[in-house]
Amino acid sequence: FPDMYAFTLRVISCLCIFQGGVFSEECSYGVFGKRETFLVPAGGSLSLFCVVQHCGGNWTGNWKRQNLTTSTTVENSARHRFTIGPVSANQSKLHLKILSVRESDEGFYTWNVKWSDGSHDVSHWMQVNVTKGVAFERKPLHRVLVCTGAFLCLPVILGLARCLSSEVKQQPHPRIESVCGVFDLVEVSHSFISSYMLQLLYADISQDALRNQKAQREPVEPTVYSTVRFF
């Protein structure tokens, strides 16, 4: 039993130490934000945020913007809207939304918090660069108009394609006519050559007949006999 009693005391001591450590843990104050660079086109919108861990205490703060020359406080306005929402009993999330971004909005942004004891704390700097491009958001009406125009143009495109295909099919006819003309020319040439050959044949036969007639009409030369006398 003494060993059992000692083991029980050790377990109770460990539980007390663990419970005391959990409840004695203190909440640390701070501001948490991600260091990041944003490229925003002129006329677009931008949203920045950070988390304040206040541990349930009182605090105040504001957004700061700093560039190469000045440091200013971002006031809540029609273009600059910031809101605060609870994350837990010890944390709150701060949002800064900038509408219709201008070149004057370019710079480094941070959240500056003031605690109840008068101390200050800031979040990481978030860099905002404004580009020259203009953001263009297509509205649903614009998309509907584009789709309607595409459907209306489709029959016209199909009609033009059909007309072009029919014209392409009709183009080989002149080639057939030219081929027929070639055949006619070949036939004419063949007939001309045949007649010319017949004329040559007739001429050859006529010349042979004339030679035969001439040979028959020539008189036969008489035979002359001579006598030779010896003295």
Q: Does residue 231 carry a pLDDT above 80? A: no
Q: pLDDT tens, 19-52?
A: 444 444 578 999 988 899 999 999 999 999 999 9
SS3 state of residue 201: helix
Burial of 183 (0-12, 13-18, 19+ CB in 10 A): exposed
Domains of the chain: 30-134 (2.60.40.10)
SS3 state of residue 1: coil
* Angstrom distances, CA of residue 148 to CA of 13, 136, 141, 144, 145: 78, 20, 11, 6, 5
For residue 93, give the nearest of 175, 31, 179, 16 by alpha carbon: 31
Q: pLDDT tens, 6-25?
A: 556 565 655 544 444 444 45
Stated pTM of the model: 0.48
Amino acid letter, 224 = V
Averaged pLDDT of the chain: 74
Q: Are the C-beta atoms of residues 94 and 50 closer than 8 Å to each other?
A: yes
Q: pLDDT tens, 173-213?
A: 544 444 444 445 445 455 655 665 656 555 555 566 556 66
Task: Report DSSP letters for 142-176, one per residue.
Answer: HHHHHHHHHHHHHHHHHHHHHHHHHHHHHTTHHHH
Q: pLDDT tens, 56-115?
A: 999 999 999 999 888 999 999 999 999 999 999 999 999 999 999 999 999 999 999 999
